[in-house]
Each structure stands twice: as C-alpha cells, then as structure tokens.
Amino acid sequence: MTRLRASKQRLPTTLNAALAVLPVSLLIACAGSGSKHPAPAAAAPPILHREEVQWLERATFGLDSATLAEYRRLGRKGYLDRQLDGHDDPLPPPIATLIGGLGASRADPMRMLADVNAQNKSINAMPNGPDKEQARKAFNDGGNKLANEAIRRELLHALYSPSQLKEQMVWFWLNHFSVYQNKANLRWLIGDYAERAIRPHAFGHFRDLVLATLEHPAMLQYLDNAQNAVGYVNENYARELMELHTLGVNAGYTQQDVQQLALVLTGVGINAGNPPRLKPEWQKLYRRDGAFEFNPARHDFGEKTLLGRTVGGRGYAEVENAVALIVRQPACARFISGQLANYFVADNPPPQLVARMAQMFQRTDGDIAAVMRTMLLAPEFDASLGGKFKDPMRFVMSAVRFAYDGRFITNTRPLVNWLNGLGEAPFGHPTPDGYPLTELAWASSGQMSRRFEIARLIGSGNAGLFDPEDGAAAVGGGFPQLSNRLYFETVEPYLAVATREALDRATSPQEWNTFLLSSPDFNFE
Amino acid sequence: MNRRHLLRLGGAALLSAGVSGRLFAAPPNGPRFLLVFLRGGYDSTNLLVPYSSSYYYEARPNIAIARPDAASNTGALALDADWALAPAVRDTIGAMYVKRQVAFIPFAGTDDLSRSHFETQDSIELGQPTSATRNYRSGFLGRLADTLQGSAAGMSPISFTDALPLAFEGTSTVPNLSLKNVGKPVFDERQAHILSDMYAGHHLEPAVRDGLDLRQDVAKEIAEVMRAANRSAINTKGFELEAERMGLLMRDKYRIGFIDVGGWDTHVGQGSAQGNLAGNLASLGRGLQMFSQSLGAEWNNTVVVVLSEFGRTFRENGNRGTDHGHGTVYWVLGGAVNGGIIAGEQRLVSRSTLFQDRDFPVLNDYRAVLGGLYRSMWGLSNDQCAQIFPQFTPIDLRLV
C-alpha cells in the first residue's frame, strides 16, 4: 500500500512560525471569503507531533480546538483515562438545550407503540377517501419527524460531546446491532433504542449490551423475534444474534444451534397493552419491562441444547443463560475484538493485537472499556496511524468539527443528506450486518468521486447548517473556515507535497476547501 | 442463422480481434454479460413453482401460488408439466420465455452451507473453492475481466452500484457508478485534474481517476442518447429507469456488468400471487425487459444471469414467510440464448428429495454453470476457465 508522501518542508515549531509560511494565495482566499483570520496567540504552544495529532484524530470524530486543548492538558494517557472512566462530560450548553428539545423522540416504546396502535386503529376505521389518506400521511409524517429527531440527537452528540471516544462507541454499537428505521414501527423506537439500549452500555459489559438490544422493541421488531412463538418459530433473530452480534459466522455453531436458539427465544416479544391472562403456573414466569415482554404462553418449554450444552433454567432464565453461554465463548471475544480493531485500527488489524484484546475481553468478562484501553495504548495502534480511510460518518463529522471549530451548527439536515449521499445514512442500512468497517467498501471509484462532490458541498458553505430546523426563516451564513488556527496547528505542518500544490492551484476559497477536504491528508487518519 | 451460432460468433470475432490486434479493435457485436445479484435470498420456490408436487401445496398452506389454469391469462404460467412461472412476471419474463429468451436452472447454488446471507454472498462473489482460505481481493468477475483483457480490447467491465462488489475485486480497478440518479458532472476538467493530481502515486490513484472520468462520461453518454432518441426518461422510474440506462451503457461501452437488487429476505408475510415478493419480482421483470429493449440489436449478443445467495425453506414458517434455505433457481436471459427450457440437473420435488428435510438441494454449482456459459460465450480454454473458477469443471448446459 502506498503511503502518503510526507512534506519535506522543515516543520515550523510554533503556530506563529506556521502563519509566517502561509502562502499568499491562501491569504487572498481567506480575505475573499470575508472572514477574520484568527489572531495568532502571543505565546503559541508548540506544534504537536504528527503521531499525537493522528492518535487524537483516531480517538475522536476529528479534531476541534477544545479537544486539542484537553489533550494538551492531560496528555495521552490522562486523556484516555478520562474518556474511559465512565462519566459523561456535560455537553456545551447550547447543544444541551437543542437536545433537550428532542425529548419526544425518546419517549418510552410502551407509549410510542400504544400511540401507533391507536392511530392505526382509528385510521383503519375511516372510510376510504382523501381524509383517510390525509390521516395516513400525518401518521407517517409523525414517524419521520421522530426518526429525524433521534438522528439529530445522535449527530449533535457525536459532533459536540467532549466524550468523543464514547460517541464513537455509541456509533460503533448502533452499527454492530444495526436496526433499520424503515421497517415496521422502528421510526418510533430508534430514539429510545440508541439512548436506552446502546448508550448506557457503550463502555460496559458486553453481555449487558447484548441483553439490552435483545429486549428492545426496535430489535424485536427488526429481526422478527416479536413473532417468534411456539409452533410459529421464526429463526431470523436467533441466527443473526450468533452470526452478527456475538460469535461471527465461522465460529463453529450449526444450523441445529440456530434452530435451538430460536426455540429458546420463543415468547420473547412486544406488548404495548395489558398483560395476557395466564395459567397460574405461567404467571410467575411472565416478564415485563415497558413494551418488552416474555410471555410463557408463547414459549416452547422443550429441552434445548446449544453449542453442545443443555440450556439450563426455565422460561426467560433460559434466554439469559443462553446469552451468557454465547458471550463466554472464546469465539465471541475474538469476534468482537476483531470488529473493534477493524473499526479503530486497520482493515487487517495485526493478529497479535486482536489476540491481546480478546484475552482482555475474556479475563474481564467482556469489559468493553478494558478492551478499548488495550487497543488504544498498543504499539500496533501507533503503528497504524495515518493509514485508516475515514468512513463517511468520520469524514462528515470531522469536516464539520474542523470547519466550524467551536461554532455550533443548529441544523443537522445537511449532514444527513451528505451521509445519505455517501451511502452511510444513520439507521439506514436495510440488512442487519451494519455498514462495513473497511476501506475496501468505501473507496471504490464511484465512491471517491461522490466523496469529492460532497467535499464541495461542505466546502462551499451554503448548506444551511445554521438555519433553524423548524423551517423558520433561514439565517444563512456560515462559510467554513478551514484555513483556521487548527489547520495551522495540526494539518498544515504535515501536508503532503501534492496536496500543497493542489491547494496552491485553488482559485477561490470554495475550491480551496473542496481540495483540502478531498485530499488524502484529510481522508486518512 | 442458428441463434446459438450467432452468439458464439460474436465471441469468436472478438477473440480473433485480440490476436490480430488491430482489425476489429472493439467490434460492436461482442458478447456482453450482466450479473444480477438478488441480495437477501429470494424465494425461488414461489417464482418457479413446482406445481406438479402435491407436497408444495402441503408445505405452503398460506403462501403457495395456485396451479396454472389454462383458461386464465393472469395466473401462473405453465412452463412444462412440472413447473410454472409466478403471475407477477408473467407479462415480462413469461413473455420472454415464450420467445425462448429465458431459461431457468433450478437446484442451483453453492456448497457453502452457512445459510448466512453475508457469508454466502461473499463466497459466491469470490468464486473460489469454498473450503480454501479466502482472498478478498479476487472476485470471479474481476478474474473474468482480467482473463478477457488479455485476449481482446474493449472488454471494459462496470458495476452499476454505489460500492464496488466483491465479485469485481481484482488486479485492475473496475469503475462503479449507480445509475439511480445521474446528474450533470460537478467538476470541470481543470478541477478534476487537480483532484487526480493530489492522488498521484497514492494507492487510491486509479480509483480517483476512474471515478472522475466515469462520472463525466456517463453523464455525457446518457444525455446524448436521450437527446438522440428524442425522448426523456419520464415514463420509466425506479429499477426500470436504472435498467434502461444500464442497457444503453452496455450497448455502447461496457461488456461485463453487475447490478444488485435487495429486499428479498422474506421472513414474514411474503404474500403469494400478490404481495411483497410478487411486487419485487414484478419490478425486476419490468427492469429486465427494459434492459433487453434498450440494448437494441445487441440484446442478441447479451447474456444476463440472475442469481441469489440461496433459496429459502421449502415449508413456510410460522409467520407466512420463509427462512434461509439452500438450493435456488438461476435465470439465464438473452436475445439468442436457447431459452424456453428448464435446464440443468433436476429432481422430482417431494419431501424425500429435500435437502436436510428443509430446502432444495444444490445439483448445479454456480461455478460450473457460469464457467460453462463463459466458455461458450468467449470460447475460453480450460486453463482460462480454471483461472476464473479454480477447481471447477465448467458444465455445458447448451444455453449459448
């Protein structure tokens, strides 16, 4: 694999020196955009080493000044400790306010589904005609609005939470336990799925994460387990639970195991209404948590063998035991470690690194934070820096964080459009495998030209990122200042020669931005 | 002229052009191949209906397709004494079958038994021996393109998808572009050059260059053709529109194409003569008909294969759907194929002939079937076939 050609230029050691070598064309370009140049600080901190910059880029959704300052203050290990210690740094107040207004989209699934059912019932009872169509449309618009709000919440978190590593994990797990908003009633459920099933467990124990997704109505609808019942077995979720969520496809389980696990999972489903009437012996086995239900009347009580073992327990205890058995398999530790390394380290991560992560996973009973620490402090991680192609989510997030450093956008719709255009729409992957994590899947010829087109859209600055989302009057503005202080501190010193030449050939600030965002320097980290 | 002869002649002319090198640099009538991958494992049993099997009607009490009725021209279309075609594609694929432009190969598939979508799609696209260690950088269409590149000019491959499929992984970069939406090119030539130059010497250089070139070319091509034909594409949409554009590009420029179509994983409520699956099949049928029309005379030089990673369970599941199965039905289409037949090795459909008492067995391996088609289309040697599908002997189903 060809590596980027590093600039042969002498590295300026301070920001002031960096500004001193600013090309004339760029100064013109910046002046042309009508923007103020950041005034160089009197005592600028020393330029970070390239490896430090790249490490921080990889551990975040891209750099902004606040992140950089925190890293400088704490150092790598201190920064990592703080990212992994389980606390959530507060969001910047304007973002907290924005997110606070999105509460409806994370309402409890019980309420959501009761509402959906009631609406459906009243619409179905209407006579056919324009009124019914209108009601149906209003119903769908309501669902779309909630889904958009859920996406907005996740994107604002990803852009502005100081807990950047956690935000990446939230994205990673949402993708690992991928659900698709356009199936069944998922538009009403994804907000709660992200906030209650995924986010609290992002750095927790893997088993809890699996159970949280297993019990969530979004997953139960998406992979059809809500319909899995004794005599009406549906093995869709059982298969993906082992293949995609825990063990990986070549882990040695068989078709027989899939069928047995499907039987274990019979009766695990959804109920947004009253509890069912059950015989006394079943009543004590009934489980309910919001819209999640384990209904013994729908469960197959036969004996089951999974992965060579009899599944112990009765009723829902069987499900918990089966999950515990599955996540304790060495194959699970290997698979999850491999996926993490795929996303954070390299398309073909060093096997010895994955092995150490898997050991840590097993030793700690699936402690995700411990596995992440092993990975992020490994020499193999350092060795991989600069070689990972950004997937569309990282590309778009890092571009916005960088371009509007510290200035908070208010409208996330353009981001969603860009992600759609690049093929990585949030909650938009129809199949349960989630989006691919490797360059192979994102850097084909068609995708590269598409990425340059999106780079142009981002770089041209009339995307409406600062307009209100409710359709009120546009405020416009917001030309992306890519040639900012952060650029001179972290990008410019290390630019490849070819990129520098391209930037020099730009004839407008828009073009300059487009080239920088399209460059190998910006697209690899 | 014999239809079979016509298609083969196209291949022979192309190969000799490669040898002489100059005379027929890119003869317009060279063979073309399009692979249509139905991702999700389509329920082939409700496409090609084994209507003579009483067990089919027992196993699918809610979703079976009714037996063909000679008096009806909207129900299933009887293809022979055992098989009928789903009503959803009666007017499109059925009409082509009557014209002998379509053949079906039941009991087709792979020896990959994972019943996993993703695993099986990957292994089919790679086309390597199933038990061997996988090389994810080498797909069978990539190897086909490489093999033909060596013998003739103008074999350009293209993938009509947003991402490059594994099938096209290989030594050279294959361009890809989805034709769902084709707008004006965004960059002028100067800008495109600058963007390319940034990647000079980088491992993504070929992808960057191809991507920028193709984007400009395709926009131009589609615009010109539409203008020349004095019509706009207002009447077609969705997959039909995409297929029409694919046909135009394969008529004029490209010889090996790939497209994938999703939405076939029908675990719940798949419907019967109408419904979910029927709607998807109908759209696919209309698209393929449109593809054949937009190729014009070149349809006679074109072979389309429609395949999917696996079939589905023979019995319906508890939710009026079907779960992951094994053997499936491949379609082979083309203006000059020996269609109008059910091809390949077959079994009587009954409970006792099911594989693992669950689904259709695989009697026709995709590597042998496709290898056989390629051998006939391009007159490939055994060595060349072995490069494309190592360790598989092509079978000649006499379709081309």
pLDDT tens for each residue of A485-512: 999 999 999 999 999 999 999 999 999 9
In this structure, the dihedral spanned by the alpha carbons of residues B231, B235, B237 and B239, taken in order and rounded to 10 degrees, is -80
Range of the domain at B247: 3-181+233-388
Mean pLDDT to the nearest integer, A147-176: 97
pLDDT of residue A79: 97
Interface of B with A in 204-263 (CB under 8 A): 204, 206-212, 214-215, 262-263
pLDDT of residue A495: 97
Interface of A with B in 216-245 (CB under 8 A): 224, 227-229, 231-236, 239, 243-244
Disruptive mutation site among B113, B181, B194 for chain A (greatest number of A CBs within 10 Å) = B194
pLDDT of residue A14: 46
pLDDT of residue A43: 62
| Closest residue of chain A to B265, computed from CA coordinates | A431
- The total of other beta-carbon atoms located within 10 Å of residue A75's CB is 11
Cβ–Cβ below 8 Å for B318 and A231 = yes
Least confident of A91-95, A426-430, B169-173: B169-173
* pLDDT, tens digit, 9 for 90 and up, residues A246-291: 999 989 999 999 999 999 999 999 999 999 999 999 999 999 999 9
Q: pTM of the entire structure?
A: 0.86
**Which CATH number is B344's domain given?**
3.40.720
Confidence of residue A45 (pLDDT cuts 50, 70, 90): confident
Beta strands in A335-443 (DSSP E): none
Interface of B with A in 164-203 (CB under 8 A): 164, 169, 173-178, 186-187, 191, 194-195, 197-203
In degrees, rounded to 5, the angle at the alpha carbon of residue A238 between the alpha carbons of residues A237 and A241 is 80
CA atoms of A299 and A286, how far apart (whole Å): 10
What is the average pLDDT score of chain B? 88
Q: Given its phi and psi angles, is residue A286 left (phi above 0), alpha (psi -120 to 50 degrees) or beta?
A: beta
* Token code pair at residue B342: 């059910």
Whether A310 contacts A334, CB under 8 Å: no
* Token code pair at residue A469: 């989302």
Taking the Cβ of residue A502 and every Cβ of chain B, the question of whether any pair is shorter than 8 Å is answered with yes
pLDDT of residue A25: 43
CA atoms of B375 and A176, how far apart (whole Å): 42
Chain A residues close to B187, C-beta within 8 Å? 452-453, 456
In this structure, the dihedral spanned by the alpha carbons of residues A334, A336, A339 and A344, taken in order and rounded to 10 degrees, is -100
Cβ–Cβ below 8 Å for A445 and B117 = no
Interface of B with A in 335-374 (CB under 8 A): 356
CA atoms of B150 and B322, how far apart (whole Å): 44
pLDDT of residue B229: 59
In a domain, B280, yes or no: yes
* pLDDT, tens digit, 9 for 90 and up, residues A318-370: 999 999 999 999 999 999 999 999 999 999 999 999 999 999 999 999 999 99
* Token code pair at residue A276: 């069912």
Cβ–Cβ below 8 Å for A4 and B318 = no
Cβ–Cβ below 8 Å for B210 and A445 = yes
Taking the CA of residue A248 and the nearest CA in chain B, the distance in Å comes to: 10
Q: Is the dihedral of CA A206, A211, A217, A220 positive or negative?
A: positive
What domain count does chain B have? 1
pLDDT of residue B5: 46
Interface of A with B in 234-293 (CB under 8 A): 234-236, 239, 243-244, 249-250, 255, 258
Confidence of residue A38 (pLDDT cuts 50, 70, 90): very low
Cβ–Cβ below 8 Å for A231 and B323 = no
CA atoms of B45 and B65, how far apart (whole Å): 9
In a domain, B197, yes or no: no
3 state SS of A4: coil
Amino acid A105 reads S
Taking the Cβ of residue B61 and every Cβ of chain A, the question of whether any pair is shorter than 8 Å is answered with no
3 state SS of B52: coil
Cβ–Cβ below 8 Å for A444 and B117 = no
Any idea which residue has 């900012």 for tokens?
A484
Quick one: which H or E segment has residue B328?
A: strand B328-333
Residues with pLDDT less than 70, chain B:
1-29, 150-155, 225-237
Interface of A with B in 384-423 (CB under 8 A): 423
* Token code pair at residue A444: 């084909």
Name the packing angle between helices A351-363 and A330-344 (round to 10°).
130
| Closest residue of chain B to A230, computed from CA coordinates | B318
Cβ–Cβ below 8 Å for B319 and A224 = yes
Q: Measure CB to CB from residue A443 to each of B40, B119, B207 and give the nearest one.
A: B207
Least confident of A30-44, A409-423, A428-442, B321-335: A30-44
Quick one: which H or E segment has residue B36?
A: strand B32-38
* pLDDT, tens digit, 9 for 90 and up, residues A211-255: 999 999 999 999 999 999 999 999 999 999 999 999 999 899 999
Residue A32 reports pLDDT greater than 60: no
Percent over 90 (pLDDT), chain B: 72
Q: Measure CB to CB from residue A502 to each of B197, B263, B321 and give the nearest one.
A: B197
pLDDT of residue B379: 93
| Closest residue of chain B to A442, computed from CA coordinates | B163
What is the average pLDDT score of chain A? 91
Taking the CA of residue B358 and the nearest CA in chain A, the distance in Å comes to: 11
pLDDT of residue A20: 43
Q: How many helices (H) and strands (E) does chain B have?
A: 11, 11
Disruptive mutation site among A261, A445, A510 for chain B (greatest number of B CBs within 10 Å) = A445
pLDDT of residue B227: 66
Q: Measure CB to CB from residue B162 to each of A2, A446, A514 and give the nearest one.
A: A446
Q: Measure CB to CB from residue B215 to each of A235, A443, A449 and give the nearest one.
A: A449
Residue A207 reports pLDDT greater than 50: yes
Domain boundaries, chain A: 15-85+389-523, 330-384
| Closest residue of chain B to A243, computed from CA coordinates | B116
The count of C-alpha atoms lying within 13 angstroms of the C-alpha of B357, restricted to the half-sphere facing its C-beta, is 1
